[in-house]
Structures are given as structure tokens and as C-alpha cells.
Structure 1
């Protein structure tokens, strides 16, 4: 995760951090391999801002999965933010596969806690 590139006035853009950074992009592609999450790849290619990325995610996914994809968006962005902080402040880095597994485990915990849309997204057949 290169937090020093693609800056505006000395700060990393949200699009770069959450979508365009090679680490973040690979993480999104990893999540896109899960059931009903393939639309993520289309949204990544067309993102001009973090808002347009989220909007495009909502447009390209089936209506019955929009709430689940929106929850997944929050979960992945939060995980990227935590990874960024871990790298900057603790000098620790997790591999993509490990972070991907963490996100899936966290999604399962959210589903068990009542996030029905997330459960429908990830554990119903495509």
C-alpha cells in the first residue's frame, strides 16, 4: 500500500487509498470472487471518485443485493483503513489473503448479528 503516491496538496486521495492503490485493488478483486460480488470489478474500472465507485457498485449489482453490497463496501473500506493505520503506526502489514479472510469472517459475524442483506449476498447461490 503506497500511501505517498497520488496525492493532492500532500494528502492521499480517498479514491487512491480505497480503490486505486494496488493493494486495495487486489483486495477488492479478491472480494469480487465471492458469491454475488462480481459486480465489484466493473465498478473498480469506472471509478472517478470514492462516491462514484459506491454509486457504480449500486448500479451494476442486482437490486436484491444492493443493501448487502453497500454493507460490504463499508466493511472493505474499514478494513483498508485499519490496514493503513497498522502499516503507518505499528509497522505491521497483513497479506491480501489474510485480510480477505478477516473480511469474510467479519461479514459472517455481521450476518449472525442481524445483517440479513449481507448474509443473502454472501451465502445464497448466485
Structure 2
């Protein structure tokens, strides 16, 4: 059975996205191997968005953005039978992050300025 926790934190595809995001932004705490164990989506969310090294608002914005893109990918796979490679999804995430910056996501801008 698919759960939110599985989709966001345990799925191999999603973990690749998080690993690529960690590399892109030089945020080792976003690597799945660095995450504290969690049994549900709320524990996972709290764990990765509460770190002493980064702004909580920035990490939460980034996490929401990635969750949204992963959710859309999941729906495309289920309803349209269309799969996107992790590399292509990362390009979408980067493009969306740029759009969020233009829309005024100032906290996210701080995190993205590290790239």
C-alpha cells in the first residue's frame, strides 16, 4: 500500500531526487542517508526541515516544492502512464524554484543562493 511517507521518504525514485537536491544545494542534511529514522510523514517532515545549518522557512519551502513535483510525477505515472527520469524531474524542480524566487519566495532565495 502506498503511503505519503513511502512516496516522500522511502521510495527509491524520490530518494534519488533528494540525493540530487542535496548535491545541487550543497545541503548534506537533505541526503536520505543522513535522515533520522521516521515512521510517518510528519516525523520525516519535522526531521528534515529542522536543522541548525539552514533556515527552517527555506527548507520547508524547498520541501513543499519537491513534494509537489513528486506528487505530480506520481499522478502522471498512475493516470497517464508517463514516467519522467530523475534528471528531468530535477530540471523541473530547478525551473519551479526559479519561478518561486520570481514570485517572491525570499527565504527560498537564501537557500538557493548557496548553489
Given the two structures, how large is their TM-score scaled by the length of structure 1? 0.82
Q: Structure 2: where are the runs of 5+ without partners?
A: none
- Number of aligned pairs? 113
| Equivalent-residue separation in structure 2 for 1:56 and 1:40 (angstroms) | 10
Which has more helix, going by share of residues?
Answer: 2
- SS across alignment from 2:50: helix
Could you say which residue in structure 2 is the equivalent of 1:100? Answer: 90
In the alignment, which of 16, 22, 27 is matched to residue 26 of structure 1? Answer: 16
Runs of 4+ in 1 over 4 A off after TM superposition: none
Q: Which consecutive residues of structure 1, in runs of 5 or more, have no partner in the other structure?
A: 1-6
**What corresponds to 2:44 in structure 1?**
53
Q: Is the radius of gyration larger for structure 1 or structure 2?
A: 1
SS in 1 for 2:15: helix
Could you tell me how far apart the structure 1 residues matched to 2:25 and 2:80 are? Answer: 33
- TM-score, with structure 2 as normaliser: 0.89
